[in-house]
């Protein structure tokens, strides 16, 4: 991340006395909260050109973070740690179940999380998981995406057909329940 020297320094002095200082539209805090990165100070007075940043360590660090391979086992372990710290919220009285995570792509890293009712995961919990993965795997200087996938129910749309033995058992049970409505059991 390129940060001009006057954004970092406490005393802001214009290079030419009497000229106004125009602040940058993005502050240092707004940049770091959206995508944490190592900061690099550049200065024309100290002969530190912006072209020196390209060969600097911050670019290499960001490239390594963007191209890093994240094993499924470690991602799933990090997901379990995150769920131990902060459980997913309830949706209609049922807990969202996140099963496992794997890497869906690189540059930027994509983490795919499989589970139940993942379409109801709130944005706040998505950001929590993203920040947890970013801190666990030290992914600085690169954007990161977290995607959720819900598997289809293999039994949806199928009616459970009872066997003849189950039908007989059900009839026997229903007759027993109807016969003992007002009496002892």
pLDDT of 24 > 60? The answer is no
> Roughly what angle, to the nearest 10 degrees, separates helices 72-85 and 123-136?
120
Q: What is the pLDDT of residues 71-104, one digit of tens each?
A: 999 999 999 999 999 999 998 888 899 999 999 9
pLDDT of 120 > 80? The answer is yes
Enter the pTM of the model. Answer: 0.61
Mean pLDDT score, 118-138: 92
Q: How far apart are CA 146 and CA 67, in angstroms?
A: 16
Share of the chain above pLDDT 90, in %: 39
Mean pLDDT score, 113-121: 92
Domain range annotation of the chain: 2-55, 72-150
| CA separation, residue 110 to residues 36, 85, 146 (Å) | 16, 22, 6
Nearest C-alpha neighbor of 67 from the set 104, 107, 103: 107
The domain 72-150 is placed in CATH, from the list 3.20.20.30, 3.20.20.100, 3.30.300.20, 2.40.128.20, at: 3.30.300.20
N- to C-terminal Cα distance for the chain?
Answer: 76
């Amino acid at each position: 991340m390129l940060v001009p020297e006057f954004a970092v320094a406490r005393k802001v002095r214009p290079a030419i006395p009497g000229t106004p200082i125009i602040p940058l539209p993005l502050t240092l805090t707004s940049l770091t909260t959206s995508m944490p990165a190592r900061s690099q100070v550049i200065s024309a007075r100290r002969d530190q050109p912006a072209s020196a940043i390209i060969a600097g360590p911050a670019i290499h660090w960001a490239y390594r973070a963007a191209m890093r391979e994240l094993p499924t086992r470690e991602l799933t372990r990090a997901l379990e740690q995150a769920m131990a710290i902060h459980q997913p919220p309830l949706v209609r009285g049922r807990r969202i179940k996140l099963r496992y995570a794997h890497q869906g792509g690189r540059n930027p890293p994509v983490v795919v999380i499989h589970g139940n009712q993942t379409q109801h995961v709130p944005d706040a919990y998505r950001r929590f998981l993203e920040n947890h993965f970013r801190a666990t795997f030290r992914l600085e200087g690169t954007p990161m995406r977290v995607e959720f996938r819900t598997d289809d129910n293999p039994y949806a749309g199928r009616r459970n057909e009872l066997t003849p033995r189950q039908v007989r058992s059900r009839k026997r049970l229903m007759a027993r329940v109807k016969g003992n409505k007002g009496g002892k059991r």
